Structure 1
Amino acid sequence: MIVREKPGFLALFFVYQGSIAPRVMPQIILVALLSALMVVLHAHFPDLFPVLTTSSFAFLGVALSLYLGFRNNACYERWWEGRRLWGQLLVEGRSLLRLSLSYRGVDSERHQRMVRRLIAFTQCLRDQVRDQDPMPGLANWLRFDELSRVESSVNRPEALLGLIGEQLATEVDSGGLDPVTVRNFEQRLVSLSEVVAGCERLGNTPLPFAYTLLVHRICYLYCFLLPVGLVAGTGLATPLLTAIVAYAFFGLDELSQELERPFGQTDNGLALDSMTRTFERECLQALGEQHLPEPEPCKDYRLT
């Protein structure tokens, strides 16, 4: 995620970090070269190119704008839902920390065990939504028998929530917690399970491919046909004009692809490392640790 103040007027044209331009530069160059070819052909064979007004492309341009606008809105909804889910994770995780401290105390072995499992759960979910192996990092927080159980599980974050649930059941049987108090704990666990299911929904349900393919095809067709219709009227300015149009359309398309994957490690992906580190610091403080890890740094305006 890019975190920076709005640059000044001149700096806007030279910002590289966080800009979508480098990723669509091949398409922009291709359209500009095609336009330059049209300019050369028009100079030698002017009769091949009819004089068209901009209204000739307005209808297709409006349709393309509507498609891109709708797709960007849908992708932003996915990005915002991902952020909302991780906000809910932090709220429910902090509620569990508060309940554990209130009913067990910071020196309780059961409190220590639950907090370490909560840290493992957050890191495991982060790695799972990013298609990474979470097991190496979990070794810092779980016992060997717990690691073996989580590793063999189909859904590892849910397995960690299961460990916490079993711990609560054991405490009820031993009289450490009464059923009413445990119900408050269970409500938090159910909410965390909803977060896991929501993240799986975002990861397993992309936008329909046919819709994405339609937008891509129209973008390319429009940008390839545009210099043919403009060269007779705009002459040498055709490559510049078509390059600007290509930057707008292909840039919006590329941006929507990044927002469609809110958990991706891209410039516009959610800062899951930062949120995970924030929760880890709070958990360690709840364990009574004095030396906490530093917050996740922001490098080159990019927070991961």
Structure 2
Amino acid sequence: MIVREKPGFLALFFVFQGSIAPRVMPQIILVSLLAALTVVLHDHFPDFFPELTTTSFGFIGVALSLYLGFRNNACYERWWEGRKLWGQLLVEGRSLLRLSLSYRGQDSERHQRMVRRLIGFTQCLRDQLRGTDPMPGLANWLSFAELAQIEASVNRPEAILGLLGEQLATEVKSGGLDPVTVRNFEQRLVSLSEVVAGCERLGNTPLPFAYMLLVHRICYIYCLLLPFGLVASSGILTPLLTAIVAYAFFGLDELSQELENPFGQTDNGLALDSMTRTFERECLQALGTPTLPEPHASKNFRLS
């Protein structure tokens, strides 16, 4: 995720970190070359080109803008929902930390086991959403028996929540916690399970492919035909004007694809590493660890 102040007027045109421009540059160059070729042909064979006006292109442009606007709003809503889900994860995780510390004490073995499992759960969910293997990182927080159980599970974050639930059941049977207190713990675990399900819903349910295909086709058709409508009135400025329109339309389309998956490791993806490290620091503090890992800092304005 890009974190930086708004650049100045001149710097605004030279910012590439986080910009969508490099990714749509091939399309911009393509339509600009086509526009330049159209200008040359129009100068040598003016009768070859039909007398097109910009009015018809204006109507198509408005329709395309509505399509792109709707798609970008839908993708940003997915991005923002992903951020709210991880915000809920932090809230429920901190609530579990507070309950465990209050009812067990910092030196309790059961408290330490729950906190380590919470760290493992957060990191496991992050890695699962990004499609990476969480097992190497989990080795720092779970026992060998727990690792074997988690590795054999279909849904590993839910399996860690299952371990936490089993721990609470054991404590009830042994008289370590009363049923009312356990109910408070269980409510937090249910909320964390809802976070997992919400993140899976975002990750496994993309926007309809047919809608994406429709927007792609209209963008290409519009930008490839636009030089023929501008060349008669704009002349040598046709490539520049076409490039600006292509940057706007292709850029919005590409940006919406990036926001569609809020958990990806892109410049505009959510900073899951930073949020995971924040929660890890709070968990280690709840364990009484004297030296905490440093929080993640942005590199070249990018916070991962």
TM-score class, shorter: over 0.9
* In structure 2, distance between residues paired with 1:100 and 1:234: 71
Aligned to 2:300: 300
* In structure 2, distance between residues paired with 1:237 and 1:48: 20
Give 1:297 deviation, angstroms: 1.6
Give the letter aligned to residue 158 of structure 2: E
Aligned to 2:82: 82
Please tell me whether residue 17 in structure 1 is matched to residue 17 in structure 2: yes
Aligned to 1:152: 152
Aligned to 2:164: 164
Deviations 1:70-103 (A, max 9, x none): 0000000000000000000000000000000000
Aligned positions of 1:1-304 closer than 5 A: 1-304=1-304
Give the letter aligned to residue 221 of structure 2: L
2:31, 2:243 within 8 Å by CA — same for their partners in 1?
Answer: yes
Give the letter aligned to residue 18 of structure 1: G
Runs of 5+ consecutive residues of structure 1 not aligned to the other structure: none
* In structure 2, distance between residues paired with 1:6 and 1:281: 30
Runs of 5+ consecutive residues of structure 2 not aligned to the other structure: none
* In structure 1, distance between residues paired with 2:219 and 2:53: 20
Give the letter aligned to residue 121 of structure 1: F
TM-score by length of 1: 0.99
Give the letter aligned to residue 15 of structure 1: V
1:51, 1:233 within 8 Å by CA — same for their partners in 2?
Answer: no
* In structure 2, distance between residues paired with 1:251 and 1:270: 20
**Alignment size in residue pairs:** 304
TM-score by length of 2: 0.99
2:76, 2:256 within 8 Å by CA — same for their partners in 1?
Answer: yes
Deviations 1:23-78 (A, max 9, x none): 10000000000101111111111112233332121110010000000000000000
SS in structure 1 of the partner of residue 207 of structure 2: coil
Instruction: Please give the root-mean-square deviation of Cα atoms over the aligned residues, in Å.
Output: 0.6
Percent identity for Structure 1 against Structure 2: 86
Give 1:229 deviation, angstroms: 1.2
Give the letter aligned to residue 71 of structure 1: R
Give the letter aligned to residue 81 of structure 1: E
